[in-house]
Amino acid sequence: MKSAFNKMLGATMILGASFFAQGALAQSANCSYSISNEWNTGATGAITITNTSTTAINGWTVGWQYATNRLSSSWNANVSGSNPYSATNLGWNGSISPGQSVSFGFQIDKRGGSAERPTITGSICGGATSSVATTSSSVPASSAPASSVPASSSSVAVSSARSSVASSVTTGQQCNWYGTLYPLCATTQSGWGYENNKSCISRATCTSQPAPYGVVGGASSAALSSSSVASSSSVASSLALSSSSIPSSSSTPSSVARSSSSVAVSSSSIASSSIASSVASSVNGVSLKALADFPIGVAVRAGSEADSILNSAQQKAVLVQHFDQITAENIMKMSYVHPSEATFSFANADALIEFARQNGASVHAHALIWHEDYQVPSFMKSYSGDFPAMLKTHVQTIASHFSGKVVSWDVVNEAIAENSDSSAVNGFRNSVFYQKMGVNFIDQAFIWADEADPVADLYYNDFNTETNDAKTTRLLALIDGMKTRGVPIDGVGFQMHVLPDWPSIANIEASFRAVAQRGLKVKITELDVRVNNKYNSSAPVYTSLTPAAAAAQSERYRQIVAAYLRAVPAAQRGGITVWGMWDAQSWFAKDPDWPLLFDNSFQPKPALQGFANGLTGQ
Ligand code: XIL
């Protein structure tokens, strides 16, 4: 350690000496521009600032200009201007320790051109040392009015936000994963891991990504010479920027300093105007995933399903902006991956997982065992051989195949009976699995899954367990028993397909709390919030998503997310996943209902703002 440190110090001194010998100020940061996704009309990308100096940067501003492209939204920075653009840090990502990086993201309209990669300018990028604090007056701010930027990403400036500079435990390095920074895993050797309550990426997987992605930050990059920095996978070759390349501007960035209060769009104000337009201006700059230090997931379709995310630039852009985890809504269920005893079919799931990997999302896998009739492979229903052996092969073949590629599994889904289920046996659903193995099938499934994938978090997943009623009691008895028997369960998934007025927030919170108090992780796995309660004849009936319905739904989302944060300690938050990206995709769309965060035109709904406000405690 000591010699490595000395080596680094030496290299830093040599690097510094060479700058001073040239009579120039030492480089303080590398500022790079990367494209993470590109489609016909647009692209998403990130600007990454890596502190290559030996002192902290406190506050930063960068600028850039396109020939043809224009910004359509941004997140994790205050962006102003209308080409050129200027971006300053938010409250939580302003300080960059030596060797660390921060990134902020954006979506561009290509305007008929290709995705450009402009030079990033700014005093921190181009020659001032970090000890020369970046002040407003030194900023190459645009003189263009800020109003032409569609949304201020200042709305994500909250203290609870995940810092994009979270560093790996041991090295201070991170992985630039297609524009999003993740910690490097300390112990996981390949694929994705989950350490210290965060998704992390193994060094091997990170370093095998194409430039400009890969490992960033840390002592090694701080000590690199300019040529080696430029050739590393992590940063663009911006080291050679001189201050002359900074666009001159006489304006100060006063227009940049927008208030973070823009996130606080109250639901009542939303209700009084057109839903999409009233919200779009405030939420375009929000990134849900940036507001949480746990996974924010979405269920997606793939394979041969209509609406496959793999063929949808719109879905891809929303994914990249808001979510850092996906669940396959269907294509990883039993009958899809194991249609007949001798056939396992992984191609569609593999393609989706690869897509997730390329777009900075981890994968929560769903589900190894589920009673639902159409999802139980028909060969299992009439199996006459050794059922436990067959089921073990099912679980272990699938879990081994995806080991290292998924971060968690719903191992058993919906085994506990509904309160009204007259065919229940001992409180359990009378499924083929229960009939063949009794309740032991649950324990065994977890034991088998753990053998096949010792790293992934293993969840028991169910619905109507957030009710704090008899079904919740049966859930608690099940997990208490599993823990007593030493079964390797890591967490409980609450599906949370909730109604507008049921269950109560108090009951939801109590249910989360009861599981959290048992030391398990709590994950909201399939969240959707319907606006109609068809089981309550006195509830209002909405035949379209009116402003009032949208406002009530927004508030419900806010309260659910807030309850989750109150009830579940940070270390036990497995994340929150919404069950679909936009209303037309919801499995309740046919009711009709509008339970998700984006409307049928893909516009963000007040629900998105409610979710964000829940995360930020507003
Ligand atoms: C649903 C999907 O959303 C639908 O597309 C499909 O037709 C049926 O299954 N609980 C679960 C999910 O665990 O797998 C279900 O998903 C919704 C209820």
Q: Which ligand 1 atom sits nearest the alpha carbon of residue 580?
A: 3
Give the model's confidence band at 147: pLDDT under 50 very low, under 70 low, under 90 confident, else very high.
very low
pLDDT tens digits, 171-199: 567 876 544 566 788 887 765 555 664 55
Give the model's confidence band at 75: pLDDT under 50 very low, under 70 low, under 90 confident, else very high.
low
Q: Does 286 or 407 have the greater pLDDT score?
A: 407
Q: Does 224 or 508 have the greater pLDDT score?
A: 508
Q: For ligand 1, atom 9, name the residue with the nearest CA.
A: 330
Cα gap 368→449, rounded to integer Å: 9
Residue 3, pLDDT score: 35
Q: Which ligand 1 atom sits nearest the alpha carbon of residue 579?
A: 3
pLDDT tens digits, 461-470: 999 999 999 9
Cα gap 16→22, rounded to integer Å: 10
> Sheet of 180-183: strands edge to edge?
180-183, 173-177, 214-217
Distance 288 CA to ligand 1 centre (A): 23
| Residue showing tokens 């009084």 | 272
Residue 535, pLDDT score: 94
Question: Ligand 1, from 370, 411, 587, 591: best to mutate by most atoms within 8 Å of Cβ?
Answer: 587
Q: Which ligand 1 atom sits nearest the alpha carbon of residue 333?
A: 14
For 33, 120, 123, the CA distances from 236, given in Å and listed in that order, are 7, 10, 16
Residue 370, pLDDT score: 98
Give the model's confidence band at 300: pLDDT under 50 very low, under 70 low, under 90 confident, else very high.
very high
Distance 298 CA to ligand 1 centre (A): 13
Q: For ligand 1, atom 3, name the residue with the nearest CA.
A: 587
Distance 588 CA to ligand 1 centre (A): 10
Give the model's confidence band at 163: pLDDT under 50 very low, under 70 low, under 90 confident, else very high.
very low
From the list 497, 477, 490, 481, the residue with the least C-alpha distance to 516 is 490
With 80 as the cut, is the pLDDT of residue 404 above it? yes
Q: Which ligand 1 atom sits nearest the alpha carbon of residue 463?
A: 10
**CA dihedral for 305, 445, 525, 105, sign (positive or negative):** negative
Q: Which ligand 1 atom sits nearest the alpha carbon of residue 586?
A: 3
Distance 579 CA to ligand 1 centre (A): 9
Cα gap 582→594, rounded to integer Å: 8
Residue 407, pLDDT score: 98
Give the model's confidence band at 106: pLDDT under 50 very low, under 70 low, under 90 confident, else very high.
confident
pLDDT tens digits, 267-285: 222 222 233 333 333 345 6
Name the range with the highest mean pLDDT among 142-146, 452-456, 597-601.
452-456
Distance 364 CA to ligand 1 centre (A): 15
- How many other C-beta atoms are found inside a 10 Å radius of the C-beta of residue 135? 12
| pLDDT, average across residues 437-446 | 98
Residue 203, pLDDT score: 86
**CA dihedral for 269, 274, 278, 283, sign (positive or negative):** positive
With 70 as the cut, is the pLDDT of residue 595 above it? yes
Distance 554 CA to ligand 1 centre (A): 23
Residue 287, pLDDT score: 93
Tokens of 272: 């009084």
Query: Residues of the chain with pLDDT > 90: what percent?
Result: 56
pTM above 0.85, yes or no: no
Give the model's confidence band at 336: pLDDT under 50 very low, under 70 low, under 90 confident, else very high.
very high
The H or E element that residue 443 is part of is helix 440-452
Q: For ligand 1, atom 16, name the residue with the nearest CA.
A: 329
With 70 as the cut, is the pLDDT of residue 19 above it? no
Q: Which ligand 1 atom sits nearest the alpha carbon of residue 413?
A: 13
Cα gap 87→79, rounded to integer Å: 4
Give the model's confidence band at 6: pLDDT under 50 very low, under 70 low, under 90 confident, else very high.
very low
What's at 103, amino acid-wise? S
Q: What is the mean pLDDT of the chain?
A: 77
* Strand extents, DSSP E, 122-264: 173-177, 180-183, 192-195, 198-201, 214-217
With 70 as the cut, is the pLDDT of residue 342 above it? yes
Residue 48, pLDDT score: 86
pLDDT tens digits, 28-69: 888 999 886 666 677 767 888 888 888 888 889 999 999 999
Give the model's confidence band at 110: pLDDT under 50 very low, under 70 low, under 90 confident, else very high.
confident
- Which residues form the pocket of ligand 1, taking CB atoms under 6 Å from any ligand atom? 329-330, 413, 463, 495, 526, 587
With 50 as the cut, is the pLDDT of residue 120 above it? yes
What's the CA angle centered on 575, arms 572 and 581, to 5 degrees? Answer: 170
Q: Does 98 or 353 have the greater pLDDT score?
A: 353
Residue 556, pLDDT score: 98
Question: Ligand 1, from 376, 525, 579: best to mutate by most atoms within 8 Å of Cβ?
Answer: 579
Q: For ligand 1, atom 15, name the residue with the nearest CA.
A: 329
Q: Which of 229-238, 510-519, 526-535 bottoms out in mean pLDDT, i.e. has the lowest? A: 229-238
Cα gap 467→496, rounded to integer Å: 10
Residue 497, pLDDT score: 98
Tokens of 28: 């303080």
Tokens of 72: 């359509």
Contact 598, 605 (CB under 8 A): yes
Residue 150, pLDDT score: 27
Q: Which ligand 1 atom sits nearest the alpha carbon of residue 414?
A: 13
With 50 as the cut, is the pLDDT of residue 567 above it? yes
Question: Ligand 1, from 330, 462, 465: best to mutate by most atoms within 8 Å of Cβ?
Answer: 330
Distance 32 CA to ligand 1 centre (A): 41
With 70 as the cut, is the pLDDT of residue 17 above it? no
Q: Which residues contact 203 (CB under 8 A, 6 or more apart)?
A: 184, 185, 215
pLDDT tens digits, 360-400: 999 999 999 999 988 999 999 999 999 999 999 999 999 99
Distance 299 CA to ligand 1 centre (A): 10
Give the model's confidence band at 406: pLDDT under 50 very low, under 70 low, under 90 confident, else very high.
very high
Catalytic residue numbers read: 414, 526
With 80 as the cut, is the pLDDT of residue 557 above it? yes
Contact 121, 245 (CB under 8 A): yes
Distance 329 CA to ligand 1 centre (A): 6
Residue 601, pLDDT score: 83
